[in-house]
Amino acid sequence: MAKARAWQRMLSGRRLDLLDPSPLDIEIEDIAHGLAFVARWNGQTTGDFPYSVAEHSLLVEEIYGQIATRPLPRWRLAALLHDAPEYVIGDMISPVKAAIGPGYAALDIRLAQAVHLRFGLPATLPAPVKAQIKRADRVSAWIEAVRLAGFTLEEADRFFGDARAAGLEGRALTLRPPAEVKQAFIARFEDLMRDCEPR
């Protein structure tokens, strides 16, 4: 029986097989472009522009750098790329992911592993690093929920934990046009890749 394929054509000209992604078909420009145009919170945020996954990823990387015990450049890069699969599968809220079931998680993992390998990271991150990135992600979600998505402090605490413990509850958020966010994401990626090079 022939193996199933689910191809996605990228603006770079690459064709990515979503079911069996190859690191060779992944380009940072495609990731940055896709994430800059994917809205967090299903677009249910205040402001003149959607709050994009690219903007969220920049915030998570920044928060990770503040709360991690050893924020090495390669792990900061992993934090920046933590939602990279969403450049092709979109951002779904947790209840929808749960309803779809394990198939969504498996797809997300395969794409994340291909992204990691493409940019010199281990396919599977060390558990402590993954846990610290997840904590930064939850702090970011708390800030976004309160600042942009209309959550009360109590609701944000209940769903995401208390960001005040990290001392980042006052963090302002940026809303920018997608093209600007894309360039900021690429610039930060390039800085981190330079920092990862052996000296």
Domain boundaries defined on the chain: 25-196
pLDDT of residue 192: 98
User: In which band, very low, low, confident or very high, does the pLDDT at 169 lie, cut at 50, 70 and 90?
Assistant: confident
Residue 149, C-beta contacts closer than 8 angstroms, at least 6 positions apart: 41, 44, 45, 46
Residue 89, C-beta contacts closer than 8 angstroms, at least 6 positions apart: 18, 104, 107, 108, 111
The CATH number of 25-196, from 1.20.1250.20, 1.10.540.10, 1.10.340.30, 1.10.3210.10, is 1.10.3210.10
Residue whose token pair is 């797809």: 107
pLDDT of residue 2: 54
Short-list 167, 64, 171, CA closest to 125: 64
The 10s digit of each residue's pLDDT in 57-106 is 999 999 999 999 889 999 999 999 999 999 998 887 777 777 777 778 88
pLDDT of residue 4: 63
CB 19 within 8 A of CB 5: yes
Short-list 131, 132, 181, 195, CA closest to 31: 181
CB 31 within 8 A of CB 57: no
Give the whole-number percent of the chain exceeding pLDDT 70: 96
User: In which band, very low, low, confident or very high, does the pLDDT at 199 lie, cut at 50, 70 and 90?
Assistant: low
